[in-house]
Protein backbone atom coordinates (compact mmCIF):
# COMPACT_ATOMS: atom_id res chain seq x y z
CA UNK A 1 0.00 0.00 0.00
CA UNK A 2 2.78 2.46 0.84
CA UNK A 3 4.34 1.89 -2.61
CA UNK A 4 0.98 2.60 -4.26
CA UNK A 5 0.57 5.67 -2.07
CA UNK A 6 4.02 6.93 -3.15
CA UNK A 7 3.21 6.32 -6.83
CA UNK A 8 -0.04 8.28 -6.60
CA UNK A 9 1.54 11.20 -4.72
CA UNK A 10 4.37 11.32 -7.25
CA UNK A 11 1.90 11.35 -10.18
CA UNK A 12 -0.22 14.10 -8.59
CA UNK A 13 2.89 16.12 -7.68
CA UNK A 14 3.73 16.26 -11.39
CA UNK A 15 0.49 18.13 -12.14
CA UNK A 16 0.36 21.91 -12.17
CA UNK A 17 -2.51 23.53 -10.25
CA UNK A 18 -4.70 23.87 -13.37
CA UNK A 19 -4.18 20.21 -14.33
CA UNK A 20 -4.89 19.06 -10.77
CA UNK A 21 -8.16 21.01 -10.92
CA UNK A 22 -9.08 19.29 -14.23
CA UNK A 23 -8.10 15.91 -12.76
CA UNK A 24 -10.37 16.39 -9.73
CA UNK A 25 -13.22 17.68 -11.88
CA UNK A 26 -13.07 14.61 -14.16
CA UNK A 27 -12.79 12.34 -11.11
CA UNK A 28 -15.95 13.83 -9.59
CA UNK A 29 -17.94 13.28 -12.81
CA UNK A 30 -16.83 9.78 -13.75
CA UNK A 31 -17.81 6.43 -12.28
CA UNK A 32 -15.05 3.81 -12.21
CA UNK A 33 -14.84 0.18 -11.12
CA UNK A 34 -18.64 0.10 -10.93
CA UNK A 35 -18.62 2.60 -8.03
CA UNK A 36 -20.20 6.02 -7.82
CA UNK A 37 -17.91 9.02 -8.44
CA UNK A 38 -16.04 10.59 -5.53
CA UNK A 39 -18.38 13.41 -4.38
CA UNK A 40 -17.40 16.84 -5.68
CA UNK A 41 -17.66 18.31 -2.18
CA UNK A 42 -14.88 16.03 -0.94
CA UNK A 43 -12.60 16.82 -3.89
CA UNK A 44 -13.20 20.56 -4.19
CA UNK A 45 -10.71 21.72 -1.57
CA UNK A 46 -8.59 18.55 -1.53
CA UNK A 47 -4.85 18.98 -1.96
CA UNK A 48 -2.69 16.30 -3.60
CA UNK A 49 -2.41 14.18 -0.43
CA UNK A 50 -6.17 14.43 0.23
CA UNK A 51 -6.88 13.44 -3.39
CA UNK A 52 -4.55 10.44 -3.10
CA UNK A 53 -6.26 9.37 0.14
CA UNK A 54 -9.72 9.67 -1.47
CA UNK A 55 -8.60 7.58 -4.46
CA UNK A 56 -7.31 4.82 -2.18
CA UNK A 57 -10.32 4.98 0.11
CA UNK A 58 -12.87 4.78 -2.73
CA UNK A 59 -11.12 2.32 -5.05
CA UNK A 60 -8.49 0.45 -3.05
CA UNK A 61 -4.76 0.22 -3.84
CA UNK A 62 -4.12 -1.16 -7.35
CA UNK A 63 -7.48 0.04 -8.70
CA UNK A 64 -6.65 3.60 -7.54
CA UNK A 65 -3.58 3.50 -9.82
CA UNK A 66 -5.71 2.31 -12.77
CA UNK A 67 -8.31 5.01 -12.14
CA UNK A 68 -5.56 7.67 -11.97
CA UNK A 69 -4.06 6.47 -15.27
CA UNK A 70 -7.52 6.48 -16.85
CA UNK A 71 -8.35 10.03 -15.69
CA UNK A 72 -4.94 11.36 -16.79
CA UNK A 73 -5.56 9.83 -20.24
CA UNK A 74 -9.06 11.34 -20.45
CA UNK A 75 -7.76 14.85 -19.72
CA UNK A 76 -5.03 14.35 -22.36
CA UNK A 77 -2.12 14.09 -19.92
CA UNK A 78 -0.95 10.97 -21.71
CA UNK A 79 2.72 11.47 -20.78
CA UNK A 80 1.85 11.52 -17.08
CA UNK A 81 -0.37 8.45 -17.58
CA UNK A 82 2.43 6.58 -19.39
CA UNK A 83 4.93 7.52 -16.67
CA UNK A 84 2.63 6.24 -13.91
CA UNK A 85 1.98 3.06 -15.93
CA UNK A 86 5.74 2.45 -16.31
CA UNK A 87 6.41 3.12 -12.61
CA UNK A 88 3.56 0.85 -11.52
CA UNK A 89 4.78 -2.00 -13.71
CA UNK A 90 8.24 -1.90 -12.12
CA UNK A 91 6.65 -3.29 -8.98
CA UNK A 92 4.50 -5.80 -10.80
CA UNK A 93 4.18 -8.05 -7.77
CA UNK A 94 1.90 -5.48 -6.16
CA UNK A 95 -0.30 -5.05 -9.23
CA UNK A 96 -2.52 -7.21 -11.42
CA UNK A 97 -0.58 -8.41 -14.46
CA UNK A 98 -1.69 -6.51 -17.56
CA UNK A 99 -3.52 -8.63 -20.13
CA UNK A 100 -2.49 -8.31 -23.77
CA UNK A 101 -4.68 -9.31 -26.68
CA UNK A 102 -3.33 -10.94 -29.82
CA UNK A 103 -3.34 -7.54 -31.49
CA UNK A 104 -0.99 -6.17 -28.84
CA UNK A 105 -3.44 -3.90 -27.02
CA UNK A 106 -3.27 -3.48 -23.25
CA UNK A 107 -6.40 -4.23 -21.23
CA UNK A 108 -6.98 -2.36 -17.96
CA UNK A 109 -9.55 -3.64 -15.49
CA UNK A 110 -13.17 -2.84 -16.32
CA UNK A 111 -13.61 0.87 -15.76
CA UNK A 112 -16.57 2.83 -17.04
CA UNK A 113 -18.15 2.06 -20.40
CA UNK A 114 -15.96 3.25 -23.26
CA UNK A 115 -17.05 6.09 -25.57
CA UNK A 116 -17.33 3.76 -28.62
CA UNK A 117 -19.59 1.37 -26.69
CA UNK A 118 -21.72 4.19 -25.25
CA UNK A 119 -22.39 5.79 -28.66
CA UNK A 120 -22.68 2.57 -30.70
CA UNK A 121 -26.06 3.39 -32.31
CA UNK A 122 -25.11 6.89 -33.48
CA UNK A 123 -21.68 5.81 -34.69
CA UNK A 124 -23.20 2.98 -36.78
CA UNK A 125 -25.69 5.41 -38.34
CA UNK A 126 -23.44 8.41 -38.91
CA UNK A 127 -19.85 7.32 -39.61
CA UNK A 128 -19.23 7.51 -43.37
CA UNK A 129 -15.45 7.04 -43.78
CA UNK A 130 -15.40 3.45 -42.56
CA UNK A 131 -12.76 2.24 -45.06
CA UNK A 132 -10.29 4.92 -43.91
CA UNK A 133 -10.98 4.05 -40.27
CA UNK A 134 -10.44 0.31 -40.69
CA UNK A 135 -7.24 1.04 -42.65
CA UNK A 136 -5.94 2.71 -39.46
CA UNK A 137 -6.91 -0.35 -37.38
CA UNK A 138 -5.56 -2.97 -39.78
CA UNK A 139 -2.76 -5.07 -38.31
CA UNK A 140 -3.20 -3.70 -34.78
CA UNK A 141 -6.83 -4.07 -33.75
CA UNK A 142 -8.09 -5.95 -36.83
CA UNK A 143 -6.44 -8.96 -38.40
CA UNK A 144 -6.54 -9.45 -42.20
CA UNK A 145 -9.62 -11.69 -42.17
CA UNK A 146 -11.62 -9.25 -40.02
CA UNK A 147 -10.48 -6.33 -42.17
CA UNK A 148 -11.59 -8.04 -45.41
CA UNK A 149 -14.95 -9.12 -43.94
CA UNK A 150 -15.73 -5.48 -43.02
CA UNK A 151 -14.70 -4.21 -46.46
CA UNK A 152 -16.97 -6.81 -48.10
CA UNK A 153 -20.08 -5.16 -46.63
CA UNK A 154 -21.86 -2.85 -49.07
CA UNK A 155 -22.93 0.19 -47.00
CA UNK A 156 -21.21 2.19 -44.28
CA UNK A 157 -23.77 1.23 -41.58
CA UNK A 158 -23.31 -2.46 -42.48
CA UNK A 159 -19.53 -2.04 -42.28
CA UNK A 160 -19.83 -0.38 -38.86
CA UNK A 161 -22.16 -3.16 -37.63
CA UNK A 162 -19.63 -5.76 -38.77
CA UNK A 163 -16.85 -3.83 -36.98
CA UNK A 164 -18.91 -3.83 -33.78
CA UNK A 165 -19.38 -7.61 -34.08
CA UNK A 166 -15.67 -7.99 -33.30
CA UNK A 167 -15.77 -5.64 -30.31
CA UNK A 168 -16.67 -8.19 -27.56
CA UNK A 169 -13.13 -9.62 -27.86
CA UNK A 170 -11.49 -6.17 -27.61
CA UNK A 171 -9.98 -4.58 -24.54
CA UNK A 172 -9.97 -0.92 -23.50
CA UNK A 173 -6.90 -0.01 -25.54
CA UNK A 174 -8.34 -1.50 -28.76
CA UNK A 175 -11.48 0.61 -28.25
CA UNK A 176 -9.25 3.62 -27.61
CA UNK A 177 -7.53 3.05 -30.98
CA UNK A 178 -10.92 3.02 -32.71
CA UNK A 179 -11.85 6.22 -30.84
CA UNK A 180 -8.64 7.93 -32.03
CA UNK A 181 -9.28 6.79 -35.63
CA UNK A 182 -12.85 8.13 -35.47
CA UNK A 183 -11.58 11.40 -34.02
CA UNK A 184 -9.05 11.74 -36.85
CA UNK A 185 -11.69 11.26 -39.56
CA UNK A 186 -14.87 12.62 -37.93
CA UNK A 187 -13.73 15.21 -35.39
CA UNK A 188 -16.97 17.24 -35.46
CA UNK A 189 -19.19 14.18 -34.97
CA UNK A 190 -17.01 12.96 -32.09
CA UNK A 191 -17.00 16.44 -30.51
CA UNK A 192 -20.81 16.52 -30.72
CA UNK A 193 -21.16 13.06 -29.11
CA UNK A 194 -18.66 13.94 -26.38
CA UNK A 195 -20.93 16.80 -25.31
CA UNK A 196 -23.87 14.41 -24.76
Task: Put residue 105 in one of left, alpha, beta given phi > 0 → left and psi -120 to 50 → alpha.
Answer: beta
For the residues 74-87, what does the mean pLDDT come to? 89
Q: Quick check: 101 pLDDT over 60? A: no
Specify the pLDDT at position 33. 63
Task: Put residue 90 in one of left, alpha, beta given phi > 0 → left and psi -120 to 50 → alpha.
Answer: alpha
CB of 23 closer than 8 Å to CB of 15:
yes
For the residues 33-60, what does the mean pLDDT come to? 87
Please report the domains of the chain, with CATH numbers, ordered by start residue.
2-97 (1.10.533.10), 115-194 (1.10.533.10)
Please state, in angstroms and rounded to a whole number, the distance separating the CA atoms of residues 152 and 6: 51
- Give 101-118 as a DSSP string: -TT--EEPPP-SPPHHHH
Mean pLDDT for the chain overall: 84
Specify the pLDDT at position 91. 59
Q: Which residues contact 27 (CB under 8 A, 6 or more apart)?
A: 37, 38, 43, 51, 55, 67, 71
Confidence of residue 93 (pLDDT cuts 50, 70, 90): very low
Q: What is the pLDDT of residues 114-164, one digit of tens each?
A: 889 889 999 999 999 999 999 999 988 899 999 999 999 999 999 999 999
Please state, in angstroms and rounded to a whole number, the distance separating the CA atoms of residues 138 and 124: 19
Amino acid sequence: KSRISDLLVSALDDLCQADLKRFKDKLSHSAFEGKRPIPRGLLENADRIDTKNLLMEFYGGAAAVEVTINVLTQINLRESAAKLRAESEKGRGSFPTPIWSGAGCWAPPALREHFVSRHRVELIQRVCMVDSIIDMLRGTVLDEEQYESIRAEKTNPEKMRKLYEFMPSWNWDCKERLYQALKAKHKFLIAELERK
